[in-house]
């Protein structure tokens, strides 16, 4: 009897773009941080590009209620003709990064999911890691000069992760965990079991440690640019790096076409209003 090959579950994507972004006030008094420009494109297109490059067709945007209309106007149908489906959920109260998987439970279903933070920009292409993912969890690490600002991972002599801590007060490691994470469907259960931290949030490190205890957590280091555009200085630096290293030229053709078409439509509408 022939064995039937089990069909691989489709990878889905989540972009978390909620939050209040008080460090960028007053710029964020009228719009979402992730809709601010980084050189010649809105910030949100950079994480979307990372997912689309990896062939992800179903993407959930999690947004704050006060900016949901702006996201819908920009992204509601921009990729529709390219068979990339973007849906939206509102995160009324920021409850931590892990809350995204509770909000997205029905969206994730029985498949796997790659979540990326809406203000994280990467030079590296994560397509191989995303497309080869089977089960467990896969996160990434990058050596930084200020690890106390991030969740960090400690490795043993065999480069295996042994400990993960959110913003440690004492030095543990120089390897920070950036805002891109790949999980199987069990991440929803892990998020629901996670207890809020001292700051009242469901920390993403709870999910990493859930899989670490199961010995199903893979951590890969990378060396390309990782830009977290959350302050005035880092937003300016991100724009300069994107320009100087030509990252704005490395978008997937679908993303480039969709943005160009959207901009042309805006110009046509503007001309009609003037007539």
235-267 confidence digits (pLDDT tens): 999 999 999 999 999 999 999 999 999 999 888
Provide the token pair at 50. 């990372």
Provide the token pair at 209. 């440690």
* Mean pLDDT of all residues in 72-94: 94
When pLDDT is cut at 50, 70 and 90, the band that residue 222 belongs to is very high
Q: Is the residue at 4 inside a domain?
A: no
Q: Is the residue at 6 inside a domain?
A: no
| Count of residues making up the chain | 275
Report pLDDT digits (tens) over 118-140.
Answer: 999 999 999 999 999 999 999 99
| 180/188 Cα distance (integer angstroms) | 16
- Give, as one character, the DSSP assignment of residue 259: H
pLDDT score, position 8 = 64
Number of domains comprising the chain: 1
274, HSE (Cβ side, Cα atoms, 13 Å): 6
Q: Is the residue at 2 inside a domain?
A: no
For the whole model, what pTM was predicted?
0.93
User: Which residues contact residue 6 at a Cβ distance below 8 angstroms, ignoring those fewer than 6 apart?
Assistant: none
Q: Is the residue at 137 inside a domain?
A: yes
* Burial status of residue 84 (CB atoms within 10 A of its CB: 0-12, 13-18, 19 or more): buried
Between 144-148, 197-201, 208-212, the lowest mean confidence (pLDDT) is in 197-201
* Mean pLDDT of all residues in 82-92: 95
CATH of residue 208? 3.90.550.10
Q: Is the residue at 1 inside a domain?
A: no
**In this model, does residue 146 exceed pLDDT 80?**
yes
* Mean pLDDT of all residues in 213-240: 94
Q: Is the residue at 3 inside a domain?
A: no
**In this model, does residue 41 exceed pLDDT 90?**
yes
Range of the domain at 204: 11-274
């Amino acid at each position: 009897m022939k064995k039937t090959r089990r069909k691989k579950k489709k990878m889905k994507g989540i972009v978390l773009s909620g939050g209040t972004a008080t460090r960028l006030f007053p710029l964020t008094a009228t719009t979402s941080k992730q809709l601010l420009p980084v050189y010649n494109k809105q910030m949100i297109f950079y994480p979307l590009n990372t997912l689309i490059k990896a062939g992800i067709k179903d993407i959930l945007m999690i947004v704050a209620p006060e900016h949901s209309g702006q996201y819908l106007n920009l992204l509601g149908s921009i990729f529709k003709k390219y068979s990339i489906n973007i849906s939206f959920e509102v995160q009324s109260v920021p409850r931590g990064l892990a809350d995204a998987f509770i909000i997205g439970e029905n969206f994730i279903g029985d498949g796997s999911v790659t979540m990326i933070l809406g203000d994280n920009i990467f030079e590296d292409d994560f397509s191989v890691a995303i497309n080869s993912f089977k089960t467990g969890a896969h996160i990434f690490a990058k050596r930084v000069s200020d690890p106390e600002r991030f969740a960090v991972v400690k490795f043993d002599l065999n480069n295996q992760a042994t400990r993960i801590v959110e913003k440690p007060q004492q030095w543990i490691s120089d390897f920070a965990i950036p805002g891109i994470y790949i999980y199987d469907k069990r991440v929803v259960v892990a998020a629901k079991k996670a207890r809020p931290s001292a700051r009242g949030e469901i920390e993403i490190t709870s999910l990493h440690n859930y899989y670490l205890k199961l010995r199903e957590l893979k951590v890969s280091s990378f060396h390309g640019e990782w830009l977290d555009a959350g302050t005035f200085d880092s937003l300016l630096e991100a724009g300069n790096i994107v320009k100087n290293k030509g990252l704005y030229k490395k978008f997937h053709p679908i993303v480039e076409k969709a943005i160009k078409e959207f901009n042309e439509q805006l110009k046509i509408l503007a001309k009609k209003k003037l007539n």
